[in-house]
Amino acid sequence: MISIDGSNGGGQILRSALSFSSVSGKPLKLINIRKARPSPGLFPQHLAIVNAMKEICNAEAEGAKLYSEEFKFIPGKVMGGNFRFDIRTAGSTMLVLQAVMIPLLYEEKESQVVVRGGTETKWCPPSYDFKNVFLYFLEKFGVNVKFEIRRHGFYPKGGGEVALDIKPCKKLNNLELIDRGKLKKIYVFSIASGALNGVAERLVKGFLEIFKDIEVEIKYIDTLSPNCFIHCYAEFENTRIGFTCLGEKGVKAEQIGKNCAEGLKEEIESGACVDRFTADQLLIYLALAGGGQLLTSRITNHMRTNIEVIEKFLNVKFEIKNNLIICSVV
């Protein structure tokens, strides 16, 4: 049984450990879950991931309950099929999808996963980043999925719904994400709840303070809780770099839009091929592919923690040279 200490991290340790336990078949003991957080243990969104992985892997999850700081996960046989999960809060649907996608990729038949909850959640991958950036790279790895945002969900009521169709993928491609080529275009998506009349346009107005030559899509949507977000990505010849900002109470829409543009500008000026948020999510796929490398904008503690977990399960070794991450088979 592989033991993982979650003292120095958050939900990422949980998700990565569960994913690799399910793929490798190695039992897992997770202790001190989110110990350093103000409110440690398993929250509803974390427990939803545990329960989803338990169902998909026909696993046992001893001690996994709300606010638990320790549990054991004994994976069984992964079974593809149709699954539906409800977080019952505004917890991140994207994080559930990222976790369950990994074991289902290696199944013989196609699967569909539907998740209800939050689609744009603070400190979690937003739905448009998942759609336009993360899945762009997964396609390069050879992953074939179809993603649908059926309804957006914001904090506190959630109520969003997403669906992911996953086709089997027996072997991932090795990727060398070190040359991004020339910048082709910047795409901007400004989304707001229908009750927030004019807010989507104001988000774009703020973005235009930093970038002028952009392609814009503005949309108003029906949500249980009102909010907004602005998502952008820079399309290069060989890669995409994305950034998203969620609306915040007390912060003007124009400032949110400007913050998003400044975030993208920082990523572009770093010379990165993969933005730091996406790079963190791709480490698992580099390892599963058996090697590869990517150039990101910044090495975060989140990445280092993720690497430690991955190396416990698979015979791979990560090397970091400045902002270049290299993965190779041991």
Report the catalytic residues: 302
Burial class (CB in 10 A: 0-12, 13-18, 19+), 194: exposed
Residue 309 is classified by DSSP as H
Decide if 242 contacts 132 (C-beta within 8 A).
yes
Q: Is the dihedral of CA 58, 63, 66, 67 positive or negative?
A: negative
CA–CA gap between residue 111 and residue 105 (Å, rounded): 9
Q: Is the dihedral of CA 309, 299, 173, 14 positive or negative?
A: positive
Q: Which amino acid is at 206?
A: G
Rg over CA atoms, the chain: 19
Lay out the sheet containing 2-5: strands in order across.
2-5, 28-31, 71-74, 60-62
CA–CA gap between residue 274 and residue 329 (Å, rounded): 22
Strand, coil or helix: what is 114? strand
How many other CB atoms are found less than 10 A from the CB of residue 193? 20
Tokens of 304: 């280092």
CA–CA gap between residue 253 and residue 4 (Å, rounded): 41
